[in-house]
Amino acid sequence: MRREALSAAGVGSNATATWADFKLYLNYDHISDTDIGIPFDCADAAMSQNNQEWRYSEFVSPDGTTSADEFTAHMLGAHVGPAGNYTSVGIIEGYQNSRARVQADDPSVDPTLFESGWMMNLFDDGTHHDEILEALTDDGDSPPYDHDDMPGSAGNMSRALVAGVTHVNTGSPIGYIGPIVAPLGLLQVETKSAVNGNILELVLEIAPGGYKGVDAVAI
């Protein structure tokens, strides 16, 4: 879409904004949650937000009128908003809806006709052939996964997977979690405490790499 727009405008890729890379939300909570905090340093100084811009990628599609639909995207879960007027679309949900799906039973066999047909009866000198055919046609004819809903779609594991868990208390105030891979830099942190308003400090060490200074794994 970007290449087509730039080509139609007669300009090259150097006209693209420097930091206009692909940014999307993790899920609907990422969009709607109001308590997403601002990073602080070790001296409790908040990160400066002067002249900063962080805009999530927007998709633009024609809607049959003189205007166009604009919406963001998130990785996990259902689309947000009514059909034809989405405010954010699920990447995995959309991919799932664009793919052909396997059959629930493959091959599709009528067990009655298959097991009692005259050709089969020519060799049926006992009852064991029926059991063998039943096992051959019925066992393993469905996939070992949900053939309708992909993991990460609205109907199957629409929440983020747990990458690590740690527990802290007054006796052990520091917890550690080993190295993890956060695709597209998306990471959801869930905290639970018996005390309301408890303040936790989260320290992230990002591995250096070749993508703008960090180790970003291609997907």
CB contact set of 183 (below 8 Å; sequence gap of 6+): 75, 217, 219
> In the prediction, which pLDDT does 73 show?
95
> In the prediction, which pLDDT does 116 show?
62
> In the prediction, which pLDDT does 72 show?
93
Q: Report pLDDT digits (tens) over 113-156.
A: 665 666 666 566 556 666 777 777 777 778 888 888 999 999 99
Pairing of strands 68-74, 59-62: antiparallel
Q: Please choose, from the candidates 201, 212, 206, the residue with its C-alpha nearest in 3D space to the C-alpha of residue 39.
A: 201
Question: Is the bond preceding residue 143 a cis peptide, omega within 30 degrees?
Answer: no
Q: Report pLDDT digits (tens) over 1-13.
A: 666 666 666 666 6
> In the prediction, which pLDDT does 52 show?
82
Q: Please choose, from the candidates 62, 63, 59, the residue with its C-alpha nearest in 3D space to the C-alpha of residue 87.
A: 59
> In the prediction, which pLDDT does 102 show?
77
- Within 10 angstroms of residue 74's Cβ, the number of other Cβ atoms is 24
Tell if the pTM clears 0.75, that is, is over it: no
- Reduced to 3 states (helix: H, G, I; strand: E, B; else coil), residue 79 is coil
